[in-house]
Structure 1
């Protein structure tokens, strides 16, 4: 098990906390919490696959260059491919930025 930490600049805030995906074979769980007034995203990746630091950094850097959403990001990985990682990240942003429903 390996834990990686990254920080990326961010320009927007999530509207709500998010929980996307599950920790399962080939999948990825993402938890996102707001960091009020933050101008960055703190990302912690816990992965079962050692030695992919550069790939994780590159996938996340590309993502945050396009979707600069601040907050505390927790990514719990059990062998997800870069495609699955990108999908889960996009789902997290969609869930975190959609307008709150009136109720």
Structure 2
């Protein structure tokens, strides 16, 4: 199991929590909640070791477009990059941004 912590500058405040997906075989869940400071803090727990660079690139791309001030917990159980992108898009939809 690999654990990653990423930080980003953020300018968009959110007012609600979001929960999408499930931590099951080939899937992942994302828990998101507002942060009062202008930063984003992402905690990633993944069963797949050695994909830190891939996670970094995906989250860099996400926060470049959606710079939300939030605390995110991502619990991965072998999801593909396509599933990760889908779940991130669902978080934005739930947050109504």
What's the TM-score once normalised by structure 1's chain length? 0.90
**Structure-1 separation of matches of 2:71 and 2:27:** 20
What's the TM-score once normalised by structure 2's chain length? 0.95
The corresponding residue for 1:93 is 92
* Contact 1:16 1:97 (C-alpha < 8 Å) held by counterparts: no
Aligned length: 97
How far apart are residue 15 of structure 1 and its match? 2.2
**Structure-2 separation of matches of 1:40 and 1:87:** 23
Kindly name which structure, 1 or 2, has the bigger radius of gyration based on alpha carbons: 1
The corresponding residue for 1:29 is 29
**Structure-2 separation of matches of 1:90 and 1:15:** 17
**Structure-2 separation of matches of 1:65 and 1:87:** 17
**Structure-2 separation of matches of 1:14 and 1:21:** 20
The 4+ residue runs of structure 1 with deviation greater than 3 A are none
Structure 2 unmatched runs, 5+? none
> Mapping of 1:29-48 within 5 angstroms?
29-36=29-36, 38-48=37-47
Which secondary structure does the structure 2 equivalent of 1:92 belong to? helix
**Structure-1 separation of matches of 2:9 and 2:93:** 19
**Structure-2 separation of matches of 1:40 and 1:97:** 19
Which secondary structure does the structure 2 equivalent of 1:83 belong to? helix
